[in-house]
Amino acid sequence: MSAPAPKRKTLGQIEVMRVVAVTGIFLYHLWSDVPRAGVENPFGPALGAILSQGWMGVILFNIVTGFVLTLPFAGPTGRPVPSYLQFLRHRLLRICPNYYLGLIFWTLVAVVAGKAGANLASSFFQHVIFVHTLNPSVFFDIVPAYWWMGLLAQFYLAYPLLFGLFRKVGPHKAALWLVGGCFVFWAALEALAQAMPGSFFAMCNYLFYFNLPYRLGEFAMGMYLACLWRDPAANPVLSLGLTAGQAFKGKRRAAWIALIALTICGLAFGVPKFVLLATHLYWLSCVLCVGLLFFFSDTMDRLGVWPPIAKVAAASYSIYLMHQPILAYFGTWVIPAMEPFPAFIFLTGVCGLLTWWVSVVMDRVVAVINDKIG
């Protein structure tokens, strides 16, 4: 038997997933600004079909978030979860400086550009306290992509209780209850919404897609995978000193088979669209398969510690916060002056580089702030 593998600070596969997720979201928002580029291009409509699914980067982010948040606490060697208030303080100090800088900056830009709405002050305050995703009149204000921040804050508020459930009943039962309960609740509420359009149930059905009740399953999947990864009985990487690629060949093969089957079904019969839940479950299954293929790959593990990938992964949070308005403002100048596909390529390069630079500056400013506040 080989010696147990030493713990690594970074799982390269996770870093690659961060980069893939934020790249998909970036290209999706760019495609949303230049939708004709998805059709009028040398590659045909297939390019637009691919770009239009970049929103799934959010699903991948949610799974990764559940995983990395749980990893330090999971398994027999996991450290104790801090008290509820200590946990919230730590997590909010991690996300708030970048978020508030982005929120203040883009609010000021909107005022200067004359794009501020009549309810800007109220919208800004609701964004500050992370409740904007509960109000359909404001949650796409200022920066539409910031709806995810409300969802993330909800997950942080619930996390100590969720992880307590994992500890109490075990990862298998906890994941089954949370994932199953999430989607059963979604199915029931969606049925009520369809039966009573325009009702309170319909409003909740719409809102919950952007909030924790419907998205809890994605975070819980990440938590479950982290618990398995830290369990020597379930993870040969820990018990036998194997690499992920060596340890999980069979699971990687199963993920390939499942992804191919999902793709064939989608192409042959179309993506299920009779209810939003069915559509979401289809794409969630695809994302989960791709994520597992990445996670069980030694190539992705090595790629994730390559400096360019590691740097983009480290900046992915700030990239998410800053990219959408940069695309929108530059798009208003570029799109009317160029053909769709050249505009798409130009904006990809210019806005991509600008977003990267702004994100690096933001992270440096936040580092100074964190040094000041300890």
8 Å CB contact between 120 and 155:
no
Does some domain include residue 256?
A: yes
**Residue 4's pLDDT is what?**
39
Q: What's the pLDDT band for 314 if we cut at 50, 70, 90?
A: very high
Q: How many domains does the chain have?
A: 1
**Residue 337's pLDDT is what?**
94
pLDDT tens for 154-184 read 999 999 999 999 999 999 999 999 999 999 9
What is the Cβ-side half-sphere exposure of residue 30, based on CA atoms within 13 angstroms? 32
pLDDT tens for 110-156 read 999 888 777 899 999 999 999 999 998 898 899 999 999 999 999 99
Q: What's the pLDDT band for 10 if we cut at 50, 70, 90?
A: confident
**Residue 2's pLDDT is what?**
33
**Residue 117's pLDDT is what?**
76
8 Å CB contact between 67 and 74:
no
Does some domain include residue 320?
A: yes
* Residue 14 phi, psi (nearest 5): -65, -40
Average pLDDT of the residues in 72-86: 92
**Residue 9's pLDDT is what?**
59
Res 351 pLDDT > 80: yes
User: What range defines the domain where residue 126 resides?
Assistant: 12-373
Does some domain include residue 7?
A: no
**Residue 281's pLDDT is what?**
97
* Termini Cα distance of the chain: 45
Instruction: Please give the share of the chain, as a percent, with pLDDT higher than 70.
Output: 97
pLDDT tens for 234-281 read 898 888 888 999 999 999 999 999 999 999 999 999 999 989 999 999
Res 374 pLDDT > 80: no
Q: What's the pLDDT band for 76 if we cut at 50, 70, 90?
A: confident
Does some domain include residue 1?
A: no
Does some domain include residue 199?
A: yes
The pTM of this model reads 0.94
Does some domain include residue 3?
A: no
Sign of CA dihedral 314, 359, 152, 297: negative
* Residue 367 phi, psi (nearest 5): -60, -40
Structure tokens at 144: 């539409």
How far apart, in whole angstroms, are the C-alpha atoms of residue 132 and residue 130?
6
Res 7 pLDDT > 70: no
Average pLDDT of the residues in 14-40: 97
Structure tokens at 71: 């990893």
Does some domain include residue 327?
A: yes
Does some domain include residue 316?
A: yes
